[in-house]
Amino acid sequence: MKIYDYLIIGAGSAGCSSAYFLHKEGKSVALVDREGIAGGASGAAGAFLSPLPGQKNIYNSLVNNALDFSLDFYQELLPEAVDKKGVLRVANDNFDEDKLSQNSIKYDYFDSKKLHDISKNFREIEGYFYENAAVIEPIQICNKLTKGCDFYKMDVKELVYKDGFYIVDNIKAKNIILAQGVSSSLVEIPYMKISPIFGLRVDVKSTTKVPFNIHKAISISTNKQDGTLSIGATHERHDSAKMECLTTCDKCSFYVKGDDEQVKSLLKQADELIKLENLEVVKIYKGARATIKSYFPVIGKIVDYESSLKKHPSIQNGTKIPQEDLEYYPNLHLINALGSRGFVFGPYLANILTKNILHNEPIPQEISTGKLFYKMARKSKF
């Protein structure tokens, strides 16, 4: 039975990034996943790295700080898997002209004439160009992140904790990090309600040269180094109370049909932005991204909800109990709810989590497990 310092359950962007930073600190690390490295939503992701416009607030500051960190990180880690050419954002219902123009991020305004000067294939559109944006190759990145770590393909159904170790099949680990995305958690975390959001990505070939990423309701990548373009969108939120993710979306009965209509809609929306000549669909990817209601990601030690309320029932009345005095599952951490920004958040959050675990550096309250615990505990009648 092999013993590791850390066993990470889930090998998407969150899990692979966590493996990288822990291994870099000299820890022995293994990952397990039922599908493989980047075998789920992360491998299906369009992997667009873009800033979040709008007047400065806690959430877009988090996104944009993560973007700066992760773009630099990927360019140093594997430059050949990164195409950094910026993004043109076209106004839509969620991001209107005011929100795109009145924000704290530097941009250039491109009217239709300027876009036609860049490429005659642009439709009659205008938009806001942000230089600090890229598209990456997710599977290449995840494989690079996990170099030096062991990987086991298995579907973990339960965790057994005995004599200071977690036991999973023939693996023993001193610590566990849950990076499970939309899959059912292996421990009770009632204060974190994951909602899967379905995403679709189509890789295509075209003789059109797309000078930079384009985003409206859907995203179109620049021509990548393998000659393809990625076209992607997030389509719908599931009701997680009614659906449990037991496999990847490409095998799920909910999505096994309807490819033609989904792809047709995606390509139609892309054509409204730029004419893609001699278009050929190469591959279709599907994936469910994990989010919570607030859209913030979540990292940190996993609070034992029931034990904490039994020990400190006054929390329900608003008493401020220090986070370090709560009850936690032993040596158990999580990194989850990265949503459609998995590769923006992945390295940034994994670095924070690693520093917290190994060096006791604090986790920002807005992304901590503690914040969600307190929010639910103060509303509950335990």
When pLDDT is averaged across residues 330-358 and rounded to a whole number, the result is 97
Task: Write the pLDDT tens digit of every residue in 209-242.
Answer: 999 999 999 999 999 988 999 999 876 544 444 4
Determine contact, residues 37/146, Cβ cutoff 8 Å. Answer: yes
Task: Write the pLDDT tens digit of every residue in 251-292.
Answer: 554 444 557 888 999 999 999 999 999 999 999 999 899 999
For the chain, give the percent of residues with pLDDT over 90: 82
Residue 89 neighbours by CB under 8 Å, 6+ apart: 50, 53, 95, 100, 127, 128, 129, 130, 215, 216
Phi/psi of residue 150, each to 5°?
A: -90, 150
Query: Is the domain covering 86-136+201-288 a CATH 3.30.9.10 domain?
Result: yes
Question: Which amino acid belongs to residue 275?
Answer: K
CATH number for the domain whose boundaries are 2-40+140-193+294-377: 3.50.50.60
Mean pLDDT over the full length of the chain: 92
pLDDT score for 261: 87
Please report which helix (H) or strand (E) contains residue 154, including its range.
Answer: none
For the chain, give the percent of residues with pLDDT over 70: 93
**CA atoms lying within 13 Å on the CB side of residue 143:** 8
Task: Write the pLDDT tens digit of every residue in 159-198.
Answer: 999 999 999 999 999 999 999 999 999 999 999 999 999 8
Sorted by where each begins, the domain ranges of the chain are: 2-40+140-193+294-377, 86-136+201-288
Q: Is pLDDT at 88 greater than 90 in this prediction?
A: yes
Number of C-beta neighbours around residue 340 at 10 A = 22
Q: Is pLDDT at 381 greater than 70 in this prediction?
A: no
Does pTM top 0.85 for this prediction? yes
